[in-house]
Structures are given as C-alpha cells and as structure tokens.
Amino acid sequence: MKKIPQKMNGLLFAPMFITLTVIALVFGSCKKYDDPVPPGNDSYSADVLDKWMSMQIRLMRNATGIPNQAFSRHFAYAGVAAFESFRPGLKAHNSLSVAWNGLTGLPQAGNWKNYYSPANVNAALATINRSMFPGASATDKAAIDSLEMALRQVFLTKATAAIINNSENFGKTVATAVFNWAETDGYKNASAPYTLPAGAGIWKPTPPAFAAPSTPYWGNNRIIITGSLNNTAVNSLPVYSTDPASTFYKMVKQVYDASLTLTDDQKAMALFWRDVPGVTSPGHWVSIVQQIIKSKNAKLDKAILAYALTGAALNDVLIRSFQIKYQSLTVRPITYIKEVMGYSDWTSFIGTPAHPEYLSNHSSLSVAAAGVLEELFGKNQFFTDHTYDYMGMAPRTYPSYMAIGLEAGISRLYGGIHYIPSIDAGTQLGKKVVQNIFLKN
C-alpha cells in the first residue's frame, strides 16, 4: 500500500519514515512561511563545521586499535549531533528524529532567539568527539578543548554570554543523547568470538599477517536511518569452482592478469584509496565532503545536512556489506591465486583486509556517499580530491561525485584484493541505499 504523506509544519512526512528529499527544503523554504525564523539562518558560515571536520579527520588518522570501517560510526553520529544541535535554527524546530532509527532523549528546542546556532554546533561536536574518541592521545584531547574554546571566544563577539551559554547547554545535551543512542547500536559485540567454517571456497586468513576475522558481527549493528537497507539484495558471485574453464576461475584470473600490467596511474589509484595508512576510508569521505562544502561555499545549514546524511548512508551501507560478507564467506584473490592457480609467490599490490571478499566495502561505501552528494549538490560536478596532499600524493580529479565512488571501487581490483563482480555488487548496494534514503524507489 502506498504511504500517504501527512502535512506537518509546512513539510511532508511519511508515517514512521521521513521523506528526506523534502528535508532539504527545510533550509530553502523557510522564507516562504510566516513562522519566525532566525534572520541569518541560511547565511551562517560553515566555518565551525569545517574546523570540526578537520579535527575529526585528525582524530581518525591518529586513532589506533579501531577497525577501518568502524570510523563510519564516528562520522555518522557526529553528523546526527551536528544536525540536531542546529535544530533551533530550523523552521518549526524540525528534527529528523523520526528518521533516526531509535534516537530518543533529544531536548526540546526553545525559541531560536535564545540560541546562536554555530555555538550549538560547536558544543555538540566537541562533546560527541570527546565521547567517540575516548582513547585519543592527551595531545589530541587538548586540541579538542582548544578548538572548542577558540570558537567560543569568537562567538562571544557575536552574541551575549547568556545566549552562548544556552547554546552550549543545548548542544551538549543533544550530543549526550546521540552518544547514549550510539552506545546501544551493537558495535560492542561486533568482535565477539567467532568460529570460521572451513570448506572449498571459504575465506580464510590471508598473508602476511593471517589475522583473525575482523568484526564478524558488524552486520548486526543497528542502522541509523530507518528503512535504509530495505530490499538491498545484490547480484551473487559465480558458483565456486577450481576448473580453469569455470566462470569463477576466470573471475579470479582477471585480478591476476590486472596485477601483471598495472600502469603508474592504476598503482597511484590503488594507493590513493588504500586509506590505511592514511585518514581511514570513512575519514577520506569526511575530507571529500569538507572539500565540497568549501568549493560550493555552502552555508552552515546545507553543510550540516550533507555531513549528516553522508555519514549516515556510509554507516548503514557498511552494516549491510558486512552482513553479506559473513554470509557469503568468499575466498580472497590472494588465497585462490596462490593455492588454486599455483602462483605461490604472488602477492596483492596493497594489503588484503582481514574479512571475506564479497562484496567490496570500498565500492559500497563510496558509491553511497557519492550518491548522497549528487542528491544534494547535483550531478556532473567537477571535483579535485586533495585528501592526501599531506602524504605527498598527487590530487586526483573527477568529472562527477559518482566518478569518485566508482574509482574508489575499481581501485580494489588494481590493489589485487577484489573481484570485478564484487565491486559491481558494492556499487549496486550503494546506489540502492541512497534510493532508500531519498525514497526514490
């Protein structure tokens, strides 16, 4: 049965699940109504968010002992906290809490005149980052404190101390509610004891580290956006076979053959999207969102929406990706090439992650993130990614945001760690999650 939208405060809401395409209108449509809204609501600089995104990238880069994909939580929950802390500046105090899956305990937003919105966001992001990075170094913890106080001093020149204090209390309360919600999403059980089955074609630990399966229960985590993983079945791989005439064998041989003819650009691509060492895969997309916000000169309202939705999409698609990985338990190329094809000295160009091959995390998360950005900023948007300038890597240029996501996926073929059908399945999954989020079914 088709859902019948309900009119509420000038916006359209579908029962139990918000139409997120309409949420974009929260920011653009305020002036069309008579309800009082902050005079500068759509003109605040995104500087406060930009500085906290830089801080978050730093924290991700410096963190130890956290699996790469786990930083999707840090990205996503910070985005939710930022968006909800900005809520008093929205028409009718609109919240996405109906879409945030199970989020409760948010404070009631008072009159916008009692807040200075950037100060709300500053307090929320300081609080959520402290909470999400409890193991940060003393230097990084001090940097969080310093950034929060430096921004506070700036804001005290824009509003009274009473308003700034009220804003900070609101932002901290929002962040506390979001963190309490995050603590119940299941991540603490992601690395529970796991018995890896054995058998032909079943994944097993790979050289050189032969590490145990990483986060086998990540797929049990609670999603952030209600309905984001609806109907997300993807194409399956060919049936496992060691027969050189089989489709499976030929699929693996594509990886082997590609490894023999890597161009300098393909090697650069694989290294650019390796991300560890680096800013992590979620952190790479924090950086991309940050760069796009700057290049578009987006104001704080739209910048926060982009940050929140991209992080949530990335978090949710990775949950589904890990579900599929530990259901399929597909052997990695390095194992098959060495043991079945007989090239015992072969090694992948980049390190093989410690989890099953199918499907590609990089492809799914990158296409999902790129899809959100295209929904918010448009298609065919030229972009140059400077994420790894600090490591001496050449920036990479793309004709569209989706081209970024697709390159991230195919880079794993050149890295020697994924099959083309697994990359394609990740692309399929990422696009489907974006369709769900924006209700484009």
Burial class (CB in 10 A: 0-12, 13-18, 19+), 160: exposed
Q: Which residues contact 155 (CB under 8 A, 6 or more apart)?
A: 116, 118, 119, 122, 164, 167
**Across residues 421-434, what is the average pLDDT?**
99
What would the pLDDT profile of 316-339 be if each residue is shown by its tens digit?
A: 999 999 999 999 999 999 999 999
359 preceded by a cis bond (ω within 30 of 0) = yes
Residue 330: DSSP 8-state: B
Residue 89 is predicted with a pLDDT of 75
Q: Name which of 190, 208, 236, 197 is nearest 359 in CA terms.
A: 236
Architecture of domain 190-437: Orthogonal Bundle (1.10)
Q: What does the mean pLDDT of the chain come to?
A: 91
* Whether pLDDT at 1 is above 70: no
Q: Which residues contact 208 (CB under 8 A, 6 or more apart)?
A: none
* Whether pLDDT at 94 is above 90: no
The CATH class that applies to domain 36-187 reads: mainly alpha
Q: Name which of 92, 87, 86 is nearest 7 in CA terms.
A: 92
Residue 360 is predicted with a pLDDT of 99
99 band by pLDDT with thresholds 50, 70 and 90: confident
Please state the pTM of the whole predicted model.
Answer: 0.92
**Across residues 381-404, what is the average pLDDT?**
99
Domain residue spans of the chain: 36-187, 190-437
